[in-house]
Amino acid sequence: MTSRRHRLTLPIDTDRLCLREFSGEDLTEVTTLYSDQRVTRYMLYGPRDENGARRHLAGVIRRQRDEPRETWELAVTRVDDNTLIGACDLTLHSRQEAEIGYLLSRRHWRQGYASEVAVTLVRSAFAQLGVERVLSTVEIHNERSLRVLDKAGLRWEATFRRYARARRHWWDVHLYAISREDWAVAQG
């Protein structure tokens, strides 16, 4: 599915953040991030121990070599000190549509980083991947993430009841999205 037009140039830098490929050296931070139950509270997957984090990270690194590449799972680091503060992903569902996701370590909440990541992923999906629409699904009670998506320009489109079964219960989610046209208008 991925063509020359559907390639992401990495790393992606903002004023404060760098979105880059994961490496094996990120294991300690990945373990800390994914084992925090408050961080993963609204995620379909549950907290991981060190072995689970190791397997997850190995899978992420292995998928970095996929051709064609349809998913970019990226480390979120601070530019000033290279500290890994979270993770994000950008997934092509088709040549026209991509989905974004993100999570940050708890000590980096409420500093505008999640919004910065979401805005950057949306811009990259349109400018680099050439998609026509960007979406995200969010557990219906995850109010902070809903605000992040709103700041990134995505708007509510639907609510899906019993969207997925994970961690022993059904998850209800909101679908948020933005079209290329609406994004371009918002950019001025």
What is the reported pLDDT for 3?
A: 46
In a domain, 138, yes or no: yes
What is the reported pLDDT for 49?
A: 85
What is the reported pLDDT for 147?
A: 98
Tell me, what CATH number does 119's domain have? 3.40.630.30
**Domain containing 22: what range?**
12-187
Show the CA angle centred on residue 71, arms to residues 47 and 63, nearest 5°: 75
In a domain, 178, yes or no: yes
In a domain, 2, yes or no: no
* Local structure of 110: helix, strand or coil: coil
What is the reported pLDDT for 1?
A: 46
> What gap in Å lies between CA 104 and CA 117, rounded to an integer?
10
* Local structure of 113: helix, strand or coil: helix
Full pLDDT tens readout for the chain, 188 residues: 444 457 899 999 999 999 999 999 999 999 999 999 999 999 988 667 889 899 999 999 999 999 899 999 999 999 999 999 999 999 999 999 999 999 999 999 999 999 999 999 999 999 999 999 999 999 999 999 999 999 999 999 999 999 999 988 999 999 999 999 999 999 98
What is the reported pLDDT for 5?
A: 53
**Are 77 and 104 spatial neighbours (Cβ–Cβ below 8 Å)?**
no
Q: Is 162 exposed, middle or buried (0-12, 13-18, 19+ CB in 10 A)?
A: exposed
Please give the tally of structural domains in the chain.
1
Q: What is the DSSP string of 33-96?
A: HHH-TTTSTTSSS----HHHHHHHHHHHHHHTT-SS--EEEEEEEETTT--EEEEEEEEESSSS
In a domain, 1, yes or no: no
> What gap in Å lies between CA 150 and CA 173, rounded to an integer?
15
Show the tokens assigned to 136: 């995200």
**Are 125 and 131 spatial neighbours (Cβ–Cβ below 8 Å)?**
yes
In a domain, 83, yes or no: yes
Q: Structure pTM?
A: 0.94
In a domain, 6, yes or no: no
Show the tokens assigned to 95: 């040549």
In a domain, 153, yes or no: yes
In a domain, 116, yes or no: yes
104 phi/psi in degrees, rounded to 5: -130, 150
